Structure 1
Amino acid sequence: MTPSPPSTEQVWELDRAVDDLVRGEAAWAACDRAKRREVLRQVHAATARAAEAWVRAAVAYKRLPEDSPLVGEEWITGPYPVLTSCGALVASIEALEESRSPVDGFSFGRAPGGRVTVRVLPHSVWDQLLLNGFSAEVWMPPGVTEREVRTRAGLAQLRPAETNGVGIVLGAGNITSIPILDVLYELYANNRVVALKLNPVTDGLLDVFGEVLAPLIDLGAVRIVTGGADVGAYLVHHPKVSHVHMTGSAATHDAIVFGTGAEGAARKAAGTPLLDKPVTSELGGVSPTIVIPGDWSEADLRYQAEHVATQKLHNGGYNCVASQVVVISSEWKQKDRFLTLLRQALSDAPVRPAYYPGSDERVNRAVDAYADARRLAGGRVLLTDLDPAEPGPALTTEYFGPVLAVLELPGDCGQFLDLAIHTANERIAGTLGVNLIAHPRTVAMLGGALDEAIAELRYGTVALNAWTGVGYLTATAGWGAFPGHTPDDVQSGIGVVHNALLLDGPERTVVRGPFRPAPRALLHGQPVMSPRPPWFVTHRTAATTGRLLADFAAAPRWTALPKIFASALRG
């Protein structure tokens, strides 16, 4: 259904906001790199000041108990990534000011298929200490040379005076850093001034976001508006808006680009969009977790079951990159024990309200589609006994809620991995993120074949023994769908965000993490100092650790580290 138009008063306010931005574009064009860097520092400082109010507002609309460890999620995915992104963007602009490339000082490598890679994590000594055992690389498309990476890094900041009009950002309603990060990317990577339209779910953050973005608002480069679908539709079709960026679902994207109902479906089939301007997007999908068979200890099985439960239940399952399908070998001798522990981890995770609109309806649809669906504690649903030949909607419908499916495929380690990759690429909807879990001995046994497998996966972020959410939190990594989607087959979206190194056209981010946490990893001869990550839903001190991490990102210093380590270890 096409939304009704906004009221006359709303139209006046929206037109005024867009006209402000038309004038603000000239002010933004007049800002040299030094000024833009200073504005980023001001946004960083404003974020630090507003962090407490930011988290309180997020906790309120997600209806979390104020003393819950889950409050840590709001620190780690709210102010924390905005603080780190501001710092990384400042470093990139400083490099350009000094006639250097933003990637100078970063390590380059090679990946299968003639790909150049940039190692973005760890980079600083703080990374090496706080995320010990984790790494991330940005892989460029085949054929792009290291020289091209260096000379092209900087994007719009290579020519800051050449602005690109007014853009509209349709903000996300789940992870509260997304709208701010998207605004910063539009301004600094694409040289567009921005009207940020909040998702109604996050209207309680209006004052906080106004404080965080105040330096850009005062400059005339940003305006924030609220309202429903009617406001969004008016803005995206506004004749003075030249570009749209959105976070949401593929269905919402199609409604914006092609329209709704039978007419919208006909336009999509014909490839004739209703919207006559470019749209970039980060959309979600059905993210798989591929569990590669191996010989695991009981502690390994339990830890990785909690890891998969976290991939599903972080933020209640309302994540565009939440795992939805666990792909597992039917011939793995430890399969039954792992699935028992997974059910237990899903049931034992802290209960939280289903705050995101439509959640119960989507969960019920999943239950209705599968006769063997199991309702677990806390409103979670586990779908098992999927038929590999006809697995049903769990592989093609993003439930965006606490629903996890298990798909068993035949084969030993190598055969299973080949089949799992084919299934992920060809049968599972979306290309935003895929997780792989493998024992260190299995990783060593597969050797180069595992890198080839990672290269074969068509996903924007691939994570081995880590959750793809780590890629989201890495400011210098790109975040988005695998490249190549088109408006009439958008999958998980078009374009990337974050990407604080301002790399030109990254293909994917590859994240690696420790199979075991410290101190147990040390007992197995693995030099890993990171304990159970604070984003685990089972982390007992996540709220304290998340607050300390955000405080550290606001002002990195040696004296803050002991408290962070002590809190993380207690979790």
Structure 2
Amino acid sequence: MTNSDAPAAVARTLAHLAPPRPLPTALDSDLAALRRGAAAWVAGDLAEKRALLPELRRATLAAAAEWVAAACAVKRIDPESPAAGEEWSSGPYAVITATSALEKTLRTLERGGTPLTDRRVGRAPQGRIAVRAFPYLPKDVVLTGYSADVWLRHGVSIEDARAGIAGALRDRDRAPLVTAVLGAGNITGIPALDVLTALYQEASAAVVKLNPVNARVGGALRAAFAPAIERDLVRIVEGDNEVGQALIHHPDVDRIHITGSRSSHDTIVFGADPDREERRREQRPVLDKPISSELGGVGPVIVVPGGADGARDRDRWTDNDLDTVARGIATERLHNSGFNCIATQLVVIPAEWEHADALVAKLRGHLAAAPPRTAYYPGAAERRDAAVAGHPDAVSLGGDPLAARALVDHLDPVDESEPLFTTEVFGPVLGVVRVPSSPARDGALDPAAFLDAAVAFCNARLAGTLGAGIVIHPRTRRALRGALDAAIATLEYGTVGVNCWVGPLFGMPGATWGAFPGHEVHEVGSGIGVVHNALLLDPAHVERTVGHGPWHPTPTPLWSVDNRTSHVTAERLTRFAGDGSASALPAAVATIASYVRG
């Protein structure tokens, strides 16, 4: 910067740092009430904090139909169509199961125990501790065949983990806190789950500023959280960016949590003026409060070939295998019309694999055959066009004609500027990259060598560290033994799903959700901190969640975009999860049996 530039730069900075627009008087009063509520929350015992959870569960169940109807209206979904099942399962159902899991944890703590007592505790690579986080509740039987473990960071012992559980919630001498939650605009359950994280992981009251896209759901969320609102622990508000800025900088707000984009995060931390990037590089934030975040990224799925023992690969994968995998990946891209931070954006396959073309053809077919959905999220068409620009062979596959589904094959694995590697599309675009590995051996690929090459590619080339998948045949998995766990340990993502999309792992309340640890505000990547975490592990102890699913899932997963009864099943499961009375048992058994039968 030259001396002549300095006055203008100072003026821009001062303009940005000028006090934000004052909050409306009512909201200013709300923050004062939250400060008082936070003080009472900290001072209360575990029994009081546990008692709120069944109240929230009942209120959420009562508000569930209104909640889903509002979400369907936002996304232009017929509430009687299968797509409405996504709104039941990722909204009220997710919150209800989270309250049940937290209640179990607090009840155990009240008795002087630890939730780790009845958890399977194993070992992950390099001496890490792995804690079984799912299944956690008896009602988790609805997802038979799925499991999830939280891997603790290297060097954290089981004694450390036990001592760190619910540390904030058990500290009745800590200062009261108010967290401003800047809610996501895609999945309506995200801000609600973030409130539970604030209350129970951080022991903080929360004011939620809904993303304008989801503002219509505000009434239902206020009904669901009415018991916490009555205790002056929660407020849920709508408003524009100026309201958000006023909240962020208000003296009665102590910390911030955002679910959104890296750009939004950096604007909050380093300012909105043209000097933002300079301040970020120089690590000069304008925000003087702690901030946690979940910011998405480019989600990959690595498809591992077979043949570890020298058998030819074609003996390991059938046409049905290829179809099942392609069907699953299509859902990973198209769930919520593609507007998911947890969506799979890139399929990583071996360049030399004899099934590569067949898998891509299956992907093309399932993407095209999926039910049509509106690309409701603002900017979808522009992001889609930017993602496929420079790829004349990109294939359009239906969906919303304003932002059609696209498949882009043969991406160059060494192209550091490829947009599908560097930018989260946040829309229905799927890329395929064929990564070379070691030369074929006796006519068969070496799956371990490919897995190592694919992990190195993802770590080096792809933006973000939020979630990744690995697809691997059970026989190949057995042949690799510890090499698979070693590859997972090297893969720098906060959630890894093996034969399981990370989407359902997001909804498992005992699991943790967040970016791979190590980011800082000036290089925030996919974010800082973890949410959900119903076991109330110390966030500083957590490295990642690793989930596992069945090779051929049966029945059709509830989250699958081609599940034709998901709206009916998801509503029934929500009501089953929310009703703990004995009278609900027959209907619950019938619901589970119906789902398991498919």
TM-score bin, normalised by smaller chain: over 0.9
Q: If the length of structure 1 is used for normalisation, what is the TM-score?
A: 0.94
1:509 equivalent to 2:545? Answer yes
1:225 equivalent to 2:237? Answer yes
Shift of 1:367: 2.0
Q: For the Cα contact (< 8 Å) 1:325–1:394, is it kept in 2?
A: yes
Report the Cα distance in structure 1 between the residues aligned to 2:545 and 2:576, rounded to whole angstroms: 25
Q: For the Cα contact (< 8 Å) 1:139–1:506, is it kept in 2?
A: yes
Q: For the Cα contact (< 8 Å) 1:195–1:225, is it kept in 2?
A: yes
1:469 equivalent to 2:507? Answer no
Match of 1:283 among 278, 295, 298: 295
RMSD between aligned residues: 1.8
Report the Cα distance in structure 1 between the residues aligned to 2:104 and 2:596, rounded to whole angstroms: 31
1:363 equivalent to 2:384? Answer yes
For 1:497, the equivalent position in structure 2 comes to 531
What percentage of aligned pairs have identical amino acids?
A: 46
> 10-19 or 262-271, which moves further after superposition?
10-19
Shift of 1:201: 1.0
For 2:471, the equivalent position in structure 1 comes to 437
Report the Cα distance in structure 2 between the residues aligned to 1:7 and 1:139, rounded to whole angstroms: 44
1:68 equivalent to 2:89? Answer no
Shift of 1:481: 0.5
For 1:137, the equivalent position in structure 2 comes to 149
Q: For the Cα contact (< 8 Å) 1:93–1:157, is it kept in 2?
A: no
Match of 1:193 among 205, 226, 231: 205
Shift of 1:189: 1.1
Report the Cα distance in structure 1 between the residues aligned to 2:115 and 2:348, rounded to whole angstroms: 38
Report the Cα distance in structure 2 between the residues aligned to 1:165 and 1:329, rounded to whole angstroms: 50
Q: If the length of structure 2 is used for normalisation, what is the TM-score?
A: 0.90
Shift of 1:14: 3.1
Report the Cα distance in structure 2 between the residues aligned to 1:86 and 1:569, rounded to whole angstroms: 24
Match of 1:334 among 338, 350, 355: 355
Report the Cα distance in structure 2 between the residues aligned to 1:240 and 1:57, rounded to whole angstroms: 31
For 1:325, the equivalent position in structure 2 comes to 346
Report the Cα distance in structure 2 between the residues aligned to 1:164 and 1:469, rounded to whole angstroms: 33
| Deviation digits for residues 125-167 of structure 1 (CA, Å, limit 9, x no counterpart) | 433x311111110100111111111121122122245244221
For 1:313, the equivalent position in structure 2 comes to 334
> 348-357 or 23-32, which moves further after superposition?
23-32
The aligned amino acid for 2:394 is A
| Deviation digits for residues 340-386 of structure 1 (CA, Å, limit 9, x no counterpart) | 01001011111111111111111111122423222111110111121
Question: 5 Å matches for 1:394-409?
Answer: 394-409=420-435
For 1:552, the equivalent position in structure 2 comes to 576
Larger Rg: 2
Report the Cα distance in structure 2 between the residues aligned to 1:570 and 1:24, rounded to whole angstroms: 47
For 2:5, the equivalent position in structure 1 comes to none
Shift of 1:7: 6.3
For 2:253, the equivalent position in structure 1 comes to 241
For 2:457, the equivalent position in structure 1 comes to 423
1:532 equivalent to 2:556? Answer yes
For 1:388, the equivalent position in structure 2 comes to 413
Shift of 1:558: 4.4
Report the Cα distance in structure 1 between the residues aligned to 2:42 and 2:588, rounded to whole angstroms: 40
Report the Cα distance in structure 1 between the residues aligned to 2:234 and 2:139, rounded to whole angstroms: 32
The aligned amino acid for 1:357 is P
Q: For structure 1, which runs of at least 5 residues remain unmatched after alignment?
A: 519-530
The aligned amino acid for 1:50 is A
Report the Cα distance in structure 2 between the residues aligned to 1:17 and 1:195, rounded to whole angstroms: 9
Report the Cα distance in structure 1 between the residues aligned to 2:300 and 2:167, rounded to whole angstroms: 32
Residues 210 and 6 of structure 1: CA distance in aligned 2, closer, same or farther (over 3 Å): farther
The aligned amino acid for 2:470 is L
Residues 92 and 566 of structure 1: CA distance in aligned 2, closer, same or farther (over 3 Å): closer
Shift of 1:566: 4.9
For 2:275, the equivalent position in structure 1 comes to 263
Shift of 1:271: 0.4
Shift of 1:416: 1.4
1:563 equivalent to 2:590? Answer yes
Q: For the Cα contact (< 8 Å) 2:337–2:375, is it kept in 1?
A: yes
| Deviation digits for residues 462-493 of structure 1 (CA, Å, limit 9, x no counterpart) | 00000011211110011101111000111110
Report the Cα distance in structure 1 between the residues aligned to 2:60 and 2:19, rounded to whole angstroms: 34
Match of 1:53 among 60, 66, 80: 66
Report the Cα distance in structure 2 between the residues aligned to 1:561 and 1:293, rounded to whole angstroms: 40
Report the Cα distance in structure 1 between the residues aligned to 2:17 and 2:297, rounded to whole angstroms: 25
1:543 equivalent to 2:535? Answer no
**Aligned partner of residue 275 in structure 2, secondary structure:** helix
1:153 equivalent to 2:165? Answer yes
Number of aligned positions between the proteins: 557
Q: For the Cα contact (< 8 Å) 1:115–1:139, is it kept in 2?
A: yes
> 22-31 or 403-412, which moves further after superposition?
22-31
Shift of 1:178: 0.7
For 1:272, the equivalent position in structure 2 comes to 284
Q: For the Cα contact (< 8 Å) 2:17–2:286, is it kept in 1?
A: no
> 146-155 or 299-308, which moves further after superposition?
146-155
Residues 493 and 350 of structure 1: CA distance in aligned 2, closer, same or farther (over 3 Å): same
Q: For the Cα contact (< 8 Å) 1:303–1:516, is it kept in 2?
A: yes
Report the Cα distance in structure 2 between the residues aligned to 1:115 and 1:216, rounded to whole angstroms: 37
Report the Cα distance in structure 2 between the residues aligned to 1:130 and 1:189, rounded to whole angstroms: 26
Report the Cα distance in structure 2 between the residues aligned to 1:268 and 1:48, rounded to whole angstroms: 44
The aligned amino acid for 2:564 is R
Match of 1:114 among 127, 139, 147: 127
Report the Cα distance in structure 2 between the residues aligned to 1:415 and 1:196, rounded to whole angstroms: 47
Q: For the Cα contact (< 8 Å) 1:5–1:230, is it kept in 2?
A: no
Residues 124 and 29 of structure 1: CA distance in aligned 2, closer, same or farther (over 3 Å): closer
Q: For the Cα contact (< 8 Å) 1:42–1:215, is it kept in 2?
A: yes
